[in-house]
Structure 1
Amino acid sequence: METPKKEHANWQSYGVTALFIVLLTIFLKGFEFFFDLVNISLLYIFPVLFSAVRWGRGPSFFAAGLGVLAFDFFFVPPQFSLTVADLRYILTFIVFLCVAGLTASLASKLMDQFQQAQKKEANTAALYALSRKITAISDLDMLLKQIVQHVSDTLDAKAAIMLPNQEGVQEVEAYSKNSGDWASDEAHLTIAGWVSHNNTIAGRGTRRLSESSDLHVPLATDQQVHGVLAVQVGDRVMSDMPELIRIIEALSDLAAVAISRVKLADEAKVAQLTAESEKLRTALLDSLSHELRTPLATIIGSVTGLLDGEDVFGPEDRRELLLTTREGATRMNRLVGNLLGMVRIESGMMRLNKMWCGIEDVVGVALSQLKDSLQNRVVSVVLDPDLPSVPLDEVLMEQVLLNVISNAIKYSPEGSEIRLNAEQNGKRLRLSITDEGGGIPPGDRERIFEKFYRGDRTKHIPGTGLGLAICKSIVEAHGGSITANARTDGRQGTVIELSLPLSQ
């Protein structure tokens, strides 16, 4: 058990005090002719002050009493006797004891105040250090480990945190180093359940389980009790417990706020994901009810015409209807591909199957799939003849080009030009698609790559707002970038530029 300096100084302090007075007496006896009795009595105040500051009232009063005896025995006539020749020395002794006692009390009180200030400073430093450690932590497991270890290091005691599981039963989630056996004691979980249910502290120095060697503090905020902090305080004396409980409660309050913050952040993430999923579901339903309806109606109309008008349509008309059917099916396939691609991206299931490919092959496949959709638009392809092969997922990159070129077709007038340029730029391949459409406002050039975003100028044109978002995810998965800019030749239109690394 610890022995507080304020009330119960140990025997060593009394021994040192006695030795101090013996040495002072020897010194004064050796130089007795240089001091009068008044000076000698004042010098005996020093052991009193030293003992009061160092150990408290007990040793200081002992120093005062022993100092009076030494002064009387060695210096007051008749010397080497506790009797006095002049009764006025009795008054001197009384005054000395009163002054020494008062001085000792004041010095001891100042020392106590200094020690209290040191404790408060240490507590504040501990709280500040914990707040700095946990401010930027967003992972709950890491947060709990930091808290218990900091509490353990600050209090030099074992610590553990219990949190309720889905059934509301307390479980040990984190404990300090070398505290596994102590933390796994079933008694902790039982007490923690009671503390959490009643939101009340229990353990040594409290009204409940006051003789226990542990302290259980609820980790509570205004909203709820998040868990319980358990600390092994040992057999510390009860007079020390109020101050210790205050610092543990302060640490637990800070920990509770941090746990609440992380939980709220996790709930916000879940809510955001739920909202995104709901938005995606709504977009899927909208796409199925609107975007698929047009090509389905085209296909049904063309097929019905072929079946019902077998004797009416000539070979050229039949070909026209079949081309219309193929265009509608291609549009449906592209739409479904975009929807499935976004689902794979959102679920984290998109995987790249990179191979060394020539960009001219990817461009050729994309254009061949879109030739029926051009509607008198002119496509110009300018590829650097010395372009090296590029490591990419050919299927996914074809989907990127299909989406970008489809947008160029959708938002540019018939008879306009769509130009594709590819060139090597250092260690990267730069591929640009330029159209002669209405252009994109500066404020929308980054937002068009967000899921479901449709600019005000294009809301009247059918679309889901997923195509460019998918392109951005695929291109960035390849280590590249995709941007939208205005044309630099002074003409109206948009330039979508892809930049891809030439090495894996």
Structure 2
Amino acid sequence: MFWNIIKSIGILAGFFVLCLAIERYFEASTLVPAIMTLAVFLVSLVTDGFLYGILASLLSVLELNFAFAFPYFAFNFSIPENIISAIIMLVITIMTCTLTTQLKNQENIRVESAKEKMRGNLLRAVSHDLRTPLTTICGSSSTIVEHYDQLTKAQVIQLANGIRDDAEWLVRMVENILSITRIDSDGVQITKTSTVLEELIDSVLMKFWKRYPDQKIEVDIPDEFISIPMDAVLIEQVIINILENAMQHAAGMTKLELSVFREGQKAVFEIRDNGCGIEKDRLQNIFKDYFEMKDAPVDHQKKSMGIGLAVCASIIRAHNGTITASNRKEGGCCFRFTLDLERNEDEQL
């Protein structure tokens, strides 16, 4: 409401001053009604509902009657032209408000339809992705409970490890879902804080090595002290998702690299591997895979890759950055995303 009032007053005041200038310097008083009609049209266009447009038309009629019709700087509603002008402006206002309201309603319907489609895709995908590990957990735990005396210690450990792995996978899946729904919710803004690059990378490596203690990562970051504005928890999730994606899908990988460098006012993060690369037909839509699910059943690990990368894309977009994936000439693939540097980082990196 406040901004509607401010916009209405600003437009009417600006056009009123413009009309005074035109009449004084160009002596073109015949243009004044058309200009004020345009002002009413703009008010109707940029405000919500009918009220502000109708009030603007009434005020415009009063302005025309008071400042631009004889006797000047006095109200006179006995002149037929003034009454006709008021009627014309009210008709224009009502038509404009009706049209803009319809357009806004159609846009809201379109947006809600797109959101419902995304929610439906998300629900179908999640229901499939969660079913497989939950079934495995239930089956393995039932086997241990019902046949404990018949199982060897090695078999029990194997089943328990499977339960643990699937439970950890479920935890990561839930974290990804919570992140993507949090970012895509209306009115949710990313809170950025200055984060030291070295501390960010250390935290990422500690979490990654808890799951993959034997995997070496070649890290290349600048020696200088670097601070980047970000939501550190979400950016950690991006890097870990991409690293885990390489562990799960980069067949034949023997080398995994993580580097950060600067391009202009951007901090560039790259995660590279020398594995099998990504199929060309999938590469272009790799960050959309999760939201383009088909009804045919697929391996849940493939879909975990999809939601992980979909989360990465949402997080980076929320940070006003870019994210891409490409195959390397020497083999393997490279995931690359950018974040804005702080203004005082000109000489760093």
Q: In which range does the TM-score fall when normalised by the shorter chain?
A: 0.5 to 0.7
Distance in 2 (alpha carbons) for counterparts of 1:327 and 1:335: 12
Is 1:137 aligned to residue 54 of structure 2?
A: no
1:360 paired to 2:269? no
Distance in 2, Cα, partners of 1:251 & 1:283 = 48
Which has the larger share of helix?
A: 2
Higher relative contact order (CA 8 A, sep 6+): 2
SS in 1 for 2:77: coil
Give CA-to-partner distance per residue, 1:211-248, whole Å, 9 cap, x none.
Answer: xxxxxxxxxxxxxxxxxxxxxx96533xx32x334322
CA radius of gyration, larger in: 1
Instruction: Determine if contact 2:57/2:86 at 8 Å carries over to the other structure.
Output: no
CA distance in 1, matches of 2:140, 2:52: 62
Q: For 2:224 and 2:99, how far apart are their aligned partners in 1?
A: 53
Q: Distance in 1 between matches of 2:253 and 2:317?
A: 30
Change (3 A) 1:406 1:255: farther
The alpha carbon displacement at 1:260 in A equals 2.0
The alpha-carbon deviation at position 340 of structure 1 amounts to: 1.7
Kindly provide the CA deviation profile for residues 27-80 of structure 1, in whole angstroms up to 9, marking residues without a partner as x. Answer: xxxxxxxxxxxxxxxxxxxxxxxxxxxxxxxxxxxxxxxxxxxxxxxxxxxxxx
Q: Which residue of 2 aligns with 1:339?
A: 177
Distance apart, 1:329 and its partner CA: 0.9
3-state SS of the aligned residue for 1:270? helix
Matches within 5 A, 1:248-397: 248-345=86-183, 346-349=185-188, 352=191, 354=193, 356-357=195-196, 358-368=199-209, 370-371=211-212, 380-384=217-221, 386=223, 388-391=225-228, 392-397=230-235
Deviation at 1:406, TM superposition (A): 3.9
Alpha-carbon distance between aligned partners in 1 of 2:257 and 2:130, rounded to the nearest angstrom: 29
Cα offset, 1:319, TM superposition: 2.7
Shift of 1:300: 1.3
The residue number in structure 2 matching 1:454 is 292
Query: Which runs of structure 2 are paired with 1:81-230 in the superposition (5 Å)?
Result: 122-128=32-38, 130-131=40-41, 133-134=42-43, 137=46, 139-140=48-49, 147-156=57-66
- Shift of the 398–129 alpha-carbon distance from structure 1 to 2, 3 Å rule, reads closer
Q: Which whole-Å CA distance do the structure 1 matches of 2:209 and 2:153 have between them?
A: 23
SS at match of 2:260: strand
Residue by residue over 1:275-328, the C-alpha shift from the partner in whole angstroms, topping out at 9 and shown as x without a partner, is 244234424432442111011012112212222332343333333222211221
Q: Is the 8 A contact 1:370 1:406 kept in 2?
A: no
Query: Is 2:242 the partner of 1:404?
Result: yes
- Matched position secondary structure for 2:268: strand
Change (3 A) 1:252 1:403: farther
Distance 2:53 2:216 in 1: 57
Q: Which residue of 1 aligns with 2:327?
A: 487
Aligned residues: 298
**TM-score, with length taken from structure 2:** 0.68
1:472 maps to what in 2?
313
Q: Is the 8 A contact 2:258 2:270 kept in 1?
A: yes
**Residue 425 (str. 1) matches residue 334 (str. 2):** no
TM-score normalised by length of structure 1 = 0.49
Aligned to 1:21: none
Do the aligned partners of residues 282 and 129 (structure 1) sit closer, same or farther apart at CA in structure 2, a change above 3 Å counting? closer
Secondary structure of 1:307's partner? helix
Deviations 1:251-293 (A, max 9, x none): 2232223312332243234324432442344244324421110
The answer to whether structure 1 residue 496 and structure 2 residue 318 are counterparts is no
Residue 403 of structure 1 contacts residue 471 of structure 1 at CA under 8 Å; is this kept in 2?
yes
Change in 2 beyond 3 A, CA 1:428/1:256: same
Is the contact made by 2:77 and 2:83 (CA closer than 8 Å) also made in structure 1?
Answer: no
Shift, 1:421, TM fit: 2.1
Root-mean-square deviation (CA, aligned residues, Å) is 4.0
After TM superposition, give the deviation of residue 478 of structure 1 in Å: 4.2
SS in 2 for 1:156: helix
8 Å CA contact 1:366, 1:401 repeated in 2? no
Matched, 1:438 2:275: no
Q: Cα deviations across residues 168-213 of structure 1 (Å, max 9, x unaligned)?
A: xxxxxxxxxxxxxxxxxxxxxxxxxxxxxxxxxxxxxxxxxxxxxx
Alignment partners' CA distance in 1, 2:57 and 2:218: 62
Query: In the superposition, relative to structure 1, how do residues 267 and 301 fare at CA in structure 2: closer, same or farther (>3 Å)?
Result: same
Q: Could you say if the C-alpha distance between residues 381 and 307 of structure 1 is closer, same or farther in structure 2, counting changes exceeding 3 Å?
A: farther
Structure 2 residue aligned with 1:203? none
Q: Could you report, residue by residue, the CA deviation over 1:351-397 in whole angstroms, capped at 9, with x for unpaired residues?
A: 5373634232233144235429x9xxx66433236263544433222
Code of the residue aligned with 1:412 in structure 2: it is A
Q: In the alignment, is the contact (CA less than 8 A) between 1:408 and 1:418 conserved in 2?
A: no
User: Deviation string for 1:114-155 (max 9, x for gaps)?
Assistant: xxxx98755444434544x34862655776665554444334
Structure 1 range deviating more: 139-148 or 341-350: 139-148
Q: After TM superposition, give the deviation of residue 425 of structure 1 in Å.
A: 1.2
Q: Indicate the residue corresponding to 2:346 in structure 1.
A: none
CA distance in 2, matches of 1:280, 1:409: 28
Change (3 A) 1:315 1:328: same
Residue identity in the other structure for 2:46: I
SS in 1 for 2:278: coil
Residue 485 to residue 321, structure 1, CA distance change in 2 (3 Å) = same
CA distance in 2, matches of 1:406, 1:328: 15
